[in-house]
Structure 1
Amino acid sequence: MASRNNFDSSTPLHVVMFPFFAFGHISPFVQLSKKLSSNGVKISFFSAQGNVDRIKTMLDPSTTTNIVSLTLPHVDGLSPGLESTSELSPASAELLKVALDLMQPQIGTLLSELKPHFVIFDFAQDWLPRLASELGIKTLFYSVFIALSTAFATVPSRINPETKSPPTLEEMKNPPPNFPKTSVTSLRTFEALDFLYIFKSFHGAPSVFDRVLAGLKDCSAILAKTCKEMEGEYIKYVESQFDKPVLLVGPVVPEPTSSVQLEDKWANWFNQFKTSSVIFCSFGSETFLSDDQIKELVLGLELTGLPFFLVLNFPANLDVSDELNRVLPEGFPGRIGERGLIHSGWVQQQQILAHKNVGCYVCHGGFSSVMEALVNDCQLVMLPQKGDQFLNAKLVCQDLKAGVEVNRRDEDGYFNKEDISEAVGIVMLEGDKDYSKSIKENHKKWKDFLMDKNTHNKFIQDLVKDMKAMM
């Protein structure tokens, strides 16, 4: 193979990793970097200067990964030093894409100097395949979303062939033409409304849909964070839509946390309760619930009668104590007492989910969080908030049948305290014993699959072989 494709097998494969400037994207790129590096691949990791220190903490201390700092060009409205979406409002975050587009000369110079074999890139860099191709470098579009998300929302058949226009609300609610027959048959109105965002253009730049479609069409191959066992039909559909191979990383399972213990103040609180009796509730670092959502959520948790640990986020400029006093229902803290704990800020999520007394995880459906739950024994209750999270929930709850989604109103996604209590009750209180038993059995099946190290090592070994064969 090496003689035919002129790739010297004695030379390490050199790969540039280039995620979008959002830690929900950077994190899976870091995880993949670590897996490739452990299989002899040389890694150069591109990110804005302001993200470098945090990326270093995510890599192993002994890593050989070379982090390459990028300089963001000036963009009106984008404050200097704010270089990831976690530091910006959604409107300001759109300007990061504008800055990224202006970085093409800088990226071209770096690639000319580094001469990697591949660039693994993200959705926002739709211009990268053309630039890399001119330098003789192959490109892999790495989708950090599940294959269902790509198959349902960002395929060529989403555009009406006659009008060349984006889908209407009613069209967005239904799958695109020739979509595989699975448990996922439609979106609710509020979900489809949210997805229409990807077809909007900001600051004269391409829409998310346009960027994704261009990147997928022009790359050498597509790289997906999934496996055929979980998403076989969706993977086939994506391959047919783009007429190119989809290489599989496998579902990226979080590294074990046994070397890092849960802080005593949290461990002591969890230890008060019975095995598998505590609800852990968190919605990721970039989700801010509305006042009404918070009120119904906490009342729903109260209604279960079970102990709970709730993590809420508030904008950095607000006083957390004042906000809690304002939004919590009257008399709530007194009624809950010691069985309810509300915290704002970062927590050791992996260690909490692994605690033997945590029996249920109520979450937004970010897929990294879903994986962290599936490799533990805590049952999943999903309350997705935006975009791909809606489809993550459908995959887990409808296709895999390994979790429960909170019931919501079709037009606006409203939920009440009974909806929360009912969903938690299915997996914790066995309101429907047969349904609850089935969910728990499926959860265990997927846990066993995800914990099989040999299977996941083979995904990466096969990926490296496929990349070398492309040279």
Structure 2
Amino acid sequence: MFPWFAAGHVTPFIHLANELAARGHRISILSPKKAQLQLQHLSLHPNLISFHPITVPHVDGLPPGVETASEIHLSMTHLLAAAMDLTRPQVEAFLFAAKPRIVFYDFAHWVPDITRHIDALSVCYSVVSASSLAIALVPSRNVPTNRAVTEEDIKDPPPGYPSSTVVLRGPEVRSLLFISLPFGDGITFYERTTTAMRNSDVLSIRTCRELEGELCDYMVSEYKKPLILTGPVFPESTGTTSLENRWTEWLNRFEPGSVIFCAFGSQHILEKNQFQELLLGFESTGFPFLIALKPPVGCETVEEAFPVGFVERVKERGIVYGGWVQQPLILNHPSVGCFVSHCGFGSMWESLLSDNQIVLIPHLGDQILNTKLLARELKVAVEVEKEENGWFSKESLGKAIKSVVEKDSEVGIQVRKNHEKWRELLGKKGFMCGYIDEFVKNLEELVNHS
């Protein structure tokens, strides 16, 4: 397995590795040492899952020592992609020596060039939603390569896109413009991802037919190759890991379901004004809250960005923390009743599988498309209203939170009812195992016939 150098990509690859190892398969995960140190505790089968550190070469413009996407601002991600491409000789040497039967990858579009020489099956494993792939990353999208992409180029869904899906709105169209930006040396994000999928032997998506079946069929029609789904690939237990005492002790002070938890993933950094607006929005709800966000732009700590008088006003009912937290364990704490999320795909699954109300503030293209799925199609969440410039106000945030948390809210009752149906389905005994069993069976057939 060779995932993109970001926690939101490495983590689901490890989850999949755990499922394969549980069925007797041996897996090697190639990743930067920092990612390995941060995430290897997620491996449940150290006897069958091994980590092999990849040395990330320096690229001009990247701060020295950078290995993962969480260490840099989003504007520098294209440089990390260039660095990943420079690891090709290391990956190639490892694969030629190990001679695996199957190689899983996502953004390293050159992996199939290697697997053809070692008689291995190449599987492009997408850890984002089929919704995101189908609207933006398909050959029929025909993104121009000789000029900058415009809203006009992508305002309409690509040809053949399932008509039953919700049409994108103006700001959502603009969110897709990132696909034409550089993502590596001399290659755009669109070119990298579509090449990765087009050149693979097999496509795989971390989703299920119940959620996105129509879009998966559309992907097959676009790429004309086998597509096998893994299901959510979400650990059914947290293993031996327990929530840190400081969070357990603080959360235990509050009534069941009363705390609002907020996290936006490992990469997104808010502007200082928007960060302050977020804090004031939480303060205005009157509910206890735990916010885990990176310090805003231009700040070394979250504390230096606090609004005047904020700490004194929220006292013991609110915590804002600038470091990494155990998100799944916090979501499962009885005192937590609402999750305010950016709707990254990992957080999307975690929210669906939790018993919390869901409030969404997406920032990037795939997050906006995931939000469309949850808030508008499944109606299991509410989205915070934004202004034309993409920012939200403390009033719109407070309104969204109250709409799902207050006991007599019609919106809250409806989304909880819809959410419960999906949570029961996804958490049903044998549901996830069934997907993985079928996934392994299909892979074995493809290997045997290759």
TM-score by length of 1: 0.88
Q: Does 1:267 align with 2:248?
A: yes
> Retained in 1: the 8 A contact 2:72–2:267?
no
> Retained in 2: the 8 A contact 1:158–1:167?
no
For 1:427, the equivalent position in structure 2 comes to 404
Cα separation, partners in 2 of 1:134 and 1:452, compared to 1, 3 Å = same
What is the identity, as a one-letter code, of the residue corresponding to 1:263?
E
Cα separation, partners in 2 of 1:305 and 1:318, compared to 1, 3 Å = closer
Query: Deviations for 1:7-33, whole angstroms, at most 9, x for unmatched residues?
Result: xxxxxxxxxx11011111111111111
For 1:135, the equivalent position in structure 2 comes to 118
For 1:145, the equivalent position in structure 2 comes to 128
> Retained in 2: the 8 A contact 1:254–1:372?
no
For 2:361, the equivalent position in structure 1 comes to 383
Query: Deviations for 1:324-365, whole angstroms, at most 9, x for unmatched residues?
Result: 34x333332222222222222122222221121211111111
Distance of 1:257 and 1:66 partners within structure 2: 20
Tell me by how many angstroms 1:295 deviates: 2.1
- 1:205-284 to structure 2, matched below 5 A, reads 205-257=186-238, 259-284=240-265
> Retained in 1: the 8 A contact 2:22–2:45?
no
Q: Does 1:369 align with 2:342?
A: no
Tell me by how many angstroms 1:381 deviates: 0.2
Distance of 1:269 and 1:102 partners within structure 2: 45
Tell me by how many angstroms 1:178 deviates: 1.9
Cα separation, partners in 2 of 1:442 and 1:110, compared to 1, 3 Å = same
What is the identity, as a one-letter code, of the residue corresponding to 1:129?
P
For 2:37, the equivalent position in structure 1 comes to 53
CA-atom RMSD in angstroms: 2.3
Distance of 2:76 and 2:271 partners within structure 1: 20
Q: Does 1:437 align with 2:410?
A: no
Choose the corresponding residue for 1:457, options 423, 433, 440.
433
Distance of 1:38 and 1:70 partners within structure 2: 25
SS at match of 1:415: coil
Tell me by how many angstroms 1:80 deviates: 5.0
The percent of aligned pairs where both chains have the same amino acid is 38
Tell me by how many angstroms 1:431 deviates: 6.3
Q: Does 1:329 align with 2:338?
A: no
What is the identity, as a one-letter code, of the residue corresponding to 2:139?
P
What is the identity, as a one-letter code, of the residue corresponding to 2:10?
I
Distance of 1:461 and 1:214 partners within structure 2: 28
Cα separation, partners in 2 of 1:203 and 1:243, compared to 1, 3 Å = closer
Stretches of structure 1 lacking an aligned partner (at least 5 in a row): 1-16
Query: Deviations for 1:442-466, whole angstroms, at most 9, x for unmatched residues?
Result: 1111111221241111111111111
For 1:348, the equivalent position in structure 2 comes to 326
SS at match of 2:218: helix
> Retained in 1: the 8 A contact 2:129–2:207?
yes
SS at match of 2:116: helix
For 2:142, the equivalent position in structure 1 comes to 159
Tell me by how many angstroms 1:254 deviates: 3.6
Distance of 1:239 and 1:203 partners within structure 2: 27
Distance of 1:304 and 1:213 partners within structure 2: 43
> Which structure: larger Rg?
1
Equivalences, count: 447
Distance of 1:303 and 1:173 partners within structure 2: 37
What is the identity, as a one-letter code, of the residue corresponding to 2:226?
P
Cα separation, partners in 2 of 1:187 and 1:128, compared to 1, 3 Å = farther
For 2:442, the equivalent position in structure 1 comes to 466
Choose the corresponding residue for 2:156, options 162, 167, 174.
174
For 1:357, the equivalent position in structure 2 comes to 335
Tell me by how many angstroms 1:261 deviates: 3.3
Query: Deviations for 1:128-178, whole angstroms, at most 9, x for unmatched residues?
Result: 1122113322201000100000001101111169x9867521343432222
Cα separation, partners in 2 of 1:164 and 1:151, compared to 1, 3 Å = farther
> Retained in 2: the 8 A contact 1:146–1:226?
yes
Tell me by how many angstroms 1:399 deviates: 1.5
SS at match of 1:18: coil
Q: Does 1:201 align with 2:201?
A: no
Query: Deviations for 1:391-439, whole angstroms, at most 9, x for unmatched residues?
Result: 1111111121111110112x32121111111111111115641x32221
SS at match of 1:134: coil
Query: Deviations for 1:376-399, whole angstroms, at most 9, x for unmatched residues?
Result: 211100001112111111111112
Query: Deviations for 1:43-102, whole angstroms, at most 9, x for unmatched residues?
Result: 111123443333432212644112222233443344553211122333443222222323
> Retained in 1: the 8 A contact 2:272–2:296?
no
Distance of 2:17 and 2:364 partners within structure 1: 27
SS at match of 1:44: strand
Distance of 1:316 and 1:414 partners within structure 2: 15
Cα separation, partners in 2 of 1:297 and 1:318, compared to 1, 3 Å = closer
Cα separation, partners in 2 of 1:103 and 1:256, compared to 1, 3 Å = same
For 1:6, the equivalent position in structure 2 comes to none
> Retained in 1: the 8 A contact 2:141–2:158?
yes
Stretches of structure 2 lacking an aligned partner (at least 5 in a row): none
For 1:302, the equivalent position in structure 2 comes to 283
Cα separation, partners in 2 of 1:236 and 1:57, compared to 1, 3 Å = same
For 1:75, the equivalent position in structure 2 comes to 59
For 2:385, the equivalent position in structure 1 comes to 407
Q: Does 1:96 align with 2:58?
A: no
> Retained in 2: the 8 A contact 1:365–1:393?
yes
Choose the corresponding residue for 2:273, options 286, 292, 300.
292
SS at match of 2:186: coil
Distance of 2:297 and 2:197 partners within structure 1: 36
> Retained in 1: the 8 A contact 2:203–2:226?
yes
Cα separation, partners in 2 of 1:448 and 1:344, compared to 1, 3 Å = same
Cα separation, partners in 2 of 1:277 and 1:199, compared to 1, 3 Å = same
